[in-house]
A = this chain, B = another copy of it.
């Protein structure tokens, strides 16, 4: 079981790093910028979680396999960018797997640090989507995880299963598996059928912030 989690975690890191490196290539960063963006996309979620709960030094700094795999993903993307663009279908599936696993593992870690279940679920979601947010903010664009088909919602749903299970004192392993499957399933179905959350009605304005803060 632990081996499985480790493998999935590394796969998730690899695919998230891939997504960061890919954006770096498209925005014409040089080799080094691509690697930095890969690292940010793969680790920012977990690092933010660890910093917020006080689990320092953060985990991504204490296991050499994470930077190693991130570096590999960055180099592979740099060299074979056109190929990876064509592998969309499998990359999306691995990405959904990474999201599911990050959300579940992140929630569990927050619970282990004594965070209450509702906030632990929020932290699990953040673990899943934080990398994508950091990647897009560094490229000065609105984070797509805040718009994509049920991306953050799927992460929260999976995290909530783990948090509720913990609150009801159910055994953690089945809850983790159920949460990961729910997240993965939701995300894949949202991609398949183009599910979207509603957008609010509004009276005008064009990206201007509320006047209260101007």
User: Using a CB–CB distance below 8 Å, which chain A residues touch chain B?
Assistant: 15, 18-19, 22-23, 25-34, 36-37, 39, 47, 51-54, 56-58, 61-62, 64, 67, 77-79, 81-82, 84-86, 88, 91-92, 94-95, 113-116, 118-119, 122-123, 132-133, 135-149, 151-153, 156, 196-214
Q: Which of A79, A84, A205 has the most chain B CB atoms closer than 10 A to its own CB?
A: A205
Tell whether, in the assembled complex, residue A30 and residue B147 are in contact, meaning their CB atoms are under 8 Å apart. Answer: yes
Residues of the B chain whose Cβ atoms lie less than 8 Å from the Cβ of A200: 25, 31, 34, 77-79, 81
Residues of the B chain whose Cβ atoms lie less than 8 Å from the Cβ of A27: 142, 207
Quote the shortest CB–CB distance from A149 to chain B (angstroms): 8
Residues of the B chain whose Cβ atoms lie less than 8 Å from the Cβ of A197: 30-33
Quote the shortest CB–CB distance from A213 to chain B (angstroms): 5
